[in-house]
Amino acid sequence: MTSTERAPIIFARLRLRYPKTAPALDHANAWELLVATVLAAQCTDARVNMVTPNLFARWPGLSAPPGSTTTKPRTLSARPSA
Protein backbone atom coordinates (compact mmCIF):
# COMPACT_ATOMS: atom_id res chain seq x y z
CA MET A 1 0.00 0.00 0.00
CA THR A 2 1.41 3.41 -0.94
CA SER A 3 1.50 6.43 1.33
CA THR A 4 -1.17 8.06 -0.84
CA GLU A 5 -3.44 5.09 -0.18
CA ARG A 6 -2.60 4.98 3.54
CA ALA A 7 -3.18 8.69 4.16
CA PRO A 8 -7.02 8.61 4.16
CA ILE A 9 -7.02 5.60 6.48
CA ILE A 10 -4.64 7.27 8.92
CA PHE A 11 -6.64 10.49 8.77
CA ALA A 12 -9.89 8.61 9.52
CA ARG A 13 -8.29 6.88 12.52
CA LEU A 14 -6.96 10.17 13.86
CA ARG A 15 -10.41 11.77 13.49
CA LEU A 16 -11.94 8.95 15.53
CA ARG A 17 -9.31 9.26 18.25
CA TYR A 18 -9.25 13.08 18.35
CA PRO A 19 -12.69 14.25 17.18
CA LYS A 20 -12.62 17.79 18.58
CA THR A 21 -9.33 19.37 17.66
CA ALA A 22 -8.78 23.10 17.56
CA PRO A 23 -5.69 25.27 17.67
CA ALA A 24 -4.67 26.38 21.14
CA LEU A 25 -3.90 29.87 19.82
CA ASP A 26 -6.75 32.37 19.69
CA HIS A 27 -7.14 33.94 16.24
CA ALA A 28 -9.77 35.50 13.98
CA ASN A 29 -7.99 35.14 10.64
CA ALA A 30 -4.93 33.70 8.94
CA TRP A 31 -2.77 36.77 9.72
CA GLU A 32 -3.47 36.50 13.45
CA LEU A 33 -2.76 32.77 13.43
CA LEU A 34 0.55 33.35 11.65
CA VAL A 35 1.66 36.03 14.13
CA ALA A 36 0.49 33.98 17.11
CA THR A 37 2.38 30.93 15.83
CA VAL A 38 5.61 32.92 15.52
CA LEU A 39 5.16 34.29 19.03
CA ALA A 40 4.35 30.83 20.39
CA ALA A 41 7.80 29.66 19.34
CA GLN A 42 9.17 32.02 22.00
CA CYS A 43 6.77 31.37 24.88
CA THR A 44 3.67 29.40 25.86
CA ASP A 45 0.41 29.44 23.95
CA ALA A 46 -1.32 30.76 27.07
CA ARG A 47 1.09 33.72 27.19
CA VAL A 48 0.53 34.41 23.49
CA ASN A 49 -3.24 34.41 24.03
CA MET A 50 -2.73 36.98 26.81
CA VAL A 51 -0.78 39.49 24.70
CA THR A 52 -2.25 39.11 21.21
CA PRO A 53 -5.59 40.88 21.83
CA ASN A 54 -3.77 44.13 22.64
CA LEU A 55 -1.28 43.54 19.83
CA PHE A 56 -3.98 42.97 17.22
CA ALA A 57 -6.01 45.94 18.49
CA ARG A 58 -3.05 48.21 17.71
CA TRP A 59 -1.74 46.39 14.62
CA PRO A 60 -4.69 44.54 13.06
CA GLY A 61 -2.99 43.65 9.80
CA LEU A 62 0.03 43.86 7.57
CA SER A 63 -0.04 47.61 7.16
CA ALA A 64 1.16 49.49 10.20
CA PRO A 65 -0.66 52.62 11.36
CA PRO A 66 1.14 55.94 10.86
CA GLY A 67 3.83 56.57 13.45
CA SER A 68 4.23 52.95 14.52
CA THR A 69 7.68 51.45 14.82
CA THR A 70 9.06 47.96 15.04
CA THR A 71 9.96 48.45 18.70
CA LYS A 72 6.43 49.14 19.90
CA PRO A 73 5.07 45.60 19.40
CA ARG A 74 7.96 44.21 21.43
CA THR A 75 6.90 46.23 24.46
CA LEU A 76 3.42 44.72 24.29
CA SER A 77 4.77 41.23 24.81
CA ALA A 78 7.16 42.12 27.60
CA ARG A 79 6.42 40.70 31.02
CA PRO A 80 5.08 43.24 33.47
CA SER A 81 7.63 44.28 36.06
CA ALA A 82 6.99 43.04 39.58
3-state SS track over the chain: CCHHHHHHHHHHHHHHHCCCCCCCCCCCCHHHHHHHHHHHCCCCHHHHHHHHHHHHHHCCCCCCCCCCCCHHHHHHHCCCCC
Can you list the residues of the chain whose pLDDT is less than 70? 64-82
